[in-house]
Structure 1
């Protein structure tokens, strides 16, 4: 089940801008990405059915983080990493861009990085350890 942590209205409130037309898809992609890279190592109380945080403060922090990640994708213009994949050296007029030819997956593209503002959203003072623990790894 896909968990989507933010709405278009939350995105607009977070950024202070009008949401792009595809914001629902961007928030879904940002939520999936954060689930895979950040939230999966966190400890928080979640709803047994939806998997969403039950604590309102944690839910708000996750919504802000999803908005920050979606905004990052809007700003860098690449949410999949495809724009940074597959080229070694490119020249257009007097401009030359270079990238190691071994770096062809796009994994190091800005579109495949956690937005710097996500950390800010998840380290707010009201996110006490009884509500959210970041980077926890548990062996069952």
Structure 2
């Protein structure tokens, strides 16, 4: 499920990357992961029916892609592996956010995306069990 389109990215990135749809798909997965305990109405395709929720998911997804673009990330985690690599006499330097240095930027939401979801009331909830069984 993808929460934003390449056209939506125009307000966040100029120019929009050629692989925008792939990046949006990856960012949507990350946004979806942050919403695991969120409660909101959806249609038959799983998309939110409330326009405010749909807007928040779209905005968070675009913010995530924009943050990745700023960091040179595409959503795979590969960009965070090493700051520098030399072949002769092998010299590898891990990036500050890379493995062993705090994790990949592709693994967690950027601050702007998280704030959008929090302000829309979509995060910060635990599992929910309907007492009526509905």
Specify the alignment match of 2:41 in structure 1: 45
Q: 1:42 to 1:16 in 2, by over 3 A?
A: same
Specify the alignment match of 2:69 in structure 1: 74
**For 1:44-64, what per-residue CA distance to the aligned partner results, in whole angstroms no more than 9, with x for missing partners?**
1222x2111110011001100
* Aligned partners of 2:37 and 2:128 also within 8 Å: no
* Aligned partners of 1:8 and 1:19 also within 8 Å: yes
2:24 aligned with 1:27: yes
> 1:122: Cα distance to partner?
2.1
Aligned length, in residue pairs: 122
Distance 1:134 1:74 in 2: 24
**For 1:86-140, what per-residue CA distance to the aligned partner results, in whole angstroms no more than 9, with x for missing partners?**
x6x9579xxx83579xx46x9702232211111232244xx3xxxx442222254
Specify the alignment match of 2:54 in structure 1: 59
**For 1:12-71, what per-residue CA distance to the aligned partner results, in whole angstroms no more than 9, with x for missing partners?**
12x1523111101110110012112x1112221222x21111100110011000001111
Structure 1 spans left out of the alignment, 5+ residues: none
Structure 2 spans left out of the alignment, 5+ residues: 130-134
TM-score (norm 2): 0.74
Aligned mate of 1:84, from 65, 80, 86: 80
Q: 1:46 to 1:117 in 2, by over 3 A?
A: same
TM-score (norm 1): 0.71
Provide the secondary structure at the position in 1 that maps to 2:125.
coil
